Structure 1
């Protein structure tokens, strides 16, 4: 997949520049989330939400509806720190667990030092606790595929943010 291609190509580049080998482990991506754990959560987006039957029955005559439920805090408010969404014992963690049963995916938007990132949280086909989502306002999608230059620019900005957060 993409990780294999990236690891192969980046390993060649890294070895040529440093004369050292590099190994990319699956947990490395989870570590990229660490600087964002203190970020304030500004939005919860529940995708594929199953509404209570009475509401769903009243709109079912309109056809198939792709349901999305968006929660936003009061003006200038937050839902708390992102790390709380990863803690099953917290109020936020319990909310995510409950919403996971009624949806196909949950995303949270967090803000830190003026920068915004979106993460998938809750149950997932993957084993990762959360994933950094591509910002579709910055990455152009053409015929269902990300346009390379905009994806490259977004990834470069993400790497700059991570480097700044870990002091590189």
Structure 2
């Protein structure tokens, strides 16, 4: 009886060892890539960053003083010529950063310059939004493709008074949105 138990125990151990030795193991690594998608719309320009495909575009903002009389002097409160208000819209599937850089001055071909200031804000009329110059940078913004897309508004202005040098004042700025 003892012999049977020992034999049975040895047989079970042998079979278990045989089955384990014969077992094959497949290790499966599972990877799912979710690419980021980013759209940027401003004025009549739209750019996309989608699956490593990047796009660039350009647009022109222009305004003139034909509907406005120049102010008497530089210090007058109404001594500015303002552009229309433009909408900036960004959609993204991932957190992103925004940098807006505008020139401090617009210049003519003859070298005359005027300071450029601009408003950037959330309300479409930009009421209560101060004018600034230079650039802004906002980090780690998140918006989606639903109704909570990121919308902001921009308006530009330059001084407009008698004794200004006539000409077409120009400058170049950039609006960059990029996923983190």
Range into which the TM-score falls when normalised by the shorter chain: under 0.3
Greater fraction helix: 1
- TM-score normalised to the size of structure 2? 0.22
